[in-house]
Amino acid sequence: MSDAHDLVKERIEAEVERLAPVLLDVSHRIHERPELAFEEHHAHDVLTEVLEAEGLTVERSAYGLATAFSSRGGRDGPTVVVCCEYDALPGLGHACGHNVIAAAGLGAGLAAASVAAEAGGRVLILGTPGEEGGGGKQLMIDAGALDGVDAAVMVHPAGLDLRTMDSLAIQRVTVTYQGHAAHAAAAPEKGRNALDAAVLGYVNVAALRQHIRPDERVHGIFLQAGDAANIVPALTQAQWYVRSPSAAGLAALRARVESCLAAGADAAGCTMELDWYQPAYDELMALDSFDDLYAANAARVGRTPLRPGSDGVAGVVGSTDMGNVSQHVPSIHPMIKVAPDDVAIHTEAFVGYARGPEGDAAVLDGATALACTVADLWLDPDALTRVRDEFAARRA
Same domain, 83 and 134: yes
Same domain, 345 and 206: no
In the chain, % of residues over pLDDT 90: 94
Helix (H) or strand (E) holding 395: helix 381-395
Is the pLDDT at 321 greater than 90? The verdict is: yes
Query: What is the reported pLDDT for 315?
Result: 76
Query: What is the reported pLDDT for 396?
Result: 86
Same domain, 270 and 123: no
Query: What is the reported pLDDT for 317?
Result: 87
Sign for the CA dihedral angle at 60, 103, 373, 116 comes to positive
Of 298, 323, 303, nearest to 373 (Cα)? 298
Euclidean distance between CA atoms 378 and 384, whole angstroms: 8
Query: What is the reported pLDDT for 132?
Result: 96
Give the pLDDT confidence of 122-177 residue by residue, as tens digits: 999 999 999 999 999 999 999 999 999 999 999 999 999 999 998 999 999 999 99
Euclidean distance between CA atoms 12 and 87, whole angstroms: 27
Query: What is the reported pLDDT for 1?
Result: 61
* pLDDT bucket at 16, cuts 50 / 70 / 90: very high
Query: What is the reported pLDDT for 47?
Result: 98
- Cβ neighbours of residue 116 closer than 8 Å, sequence gap 6 or more: 73, 74, 75, 77, 122, 123, 378
Strand ranges for 137-204 from DSSP E: 151-153, 156-158, 166-167, 169-178
Query: What is the reported pLDDT for 209?
Result: 96
Residue range 253-257: mean pLDDT, rounded: 98
Same domain, 119 and 144: yes
* pLDDT bucket at 3, cuts 50 / 70 / 90: confident
Residue range 365-373: mean pLDDT, rounded: 98
- The backbone torsions φ and ψ at residue 170, rounded to the nearest 5 degrees and listed phi first, read -145, 145
Residue 395, Cβ neighbours under 10 Å: how many? 10
Is the pLDDT at 311 greater than 70? The verdict is: no
Euclidean distance between CA atoms 317 and 143, whole angstroms: 29
Query: What is the reported pLDDT for 95?
Result: 96
Is the pLDDT at 309 greater than 90? The verdict is: no
Sign for the CA dihedral angle at 302, 322, 151, 111 comes to negative
Same domain, 78 and 213: no
Last residue of a domain, one of 252, 276, 300: 276
Query: Domain with 236 in it: what CATH number?
Result: 3.30.70.360
Is the pLDDT at 23 greater than 90? The verdict is: yes
Last residue of a domain, one of 249, 276, 303: 276
Same domain, 158 and 67: yes
Residue range 80-93: mean pLDDT, rounded: 97
Give the pLDDT confidence of 262-300 residue by residue, as tens digits: 999 999 999 999 999 999 999 999 999 999 999 999 999
Query: Domain with 41 in it: what CATH number?
Result: 3.40.630.10
Is the pLDDT at 313 greater than 80? The verdict is: no
Q: Please state, in angstroms and as integers, the Cα–Cα distance from residue 1 to each residue in 109, 184, 290, 295, following that order.
A: 22, 77, 16, 15
Same domain, 162 and 90: yes
Residue range 179-203: mean pLDDT, rounded: 96
Is the pLDDT at 4 greater than 90? The verdict is: no
Same domain, 133 and 263: no
Last residue of a domain, one of 276, 292, 326: 276
- What domain count does the chain have? 2
Is the pLDDT at 109 greater than 80? The verdict is: yes
Same domain, 319 and 378: yes
Is the pLDDT at 2 greater than 80? The verdict is: no
Same domain, 90 and 206: no
Same domain, 320 and 211: no
- Residue numbers of the domain that contains 107: 3-166+284-395
Same domain, 262 and 337: no
Is the pTM for the entire model greater than 0.95? no
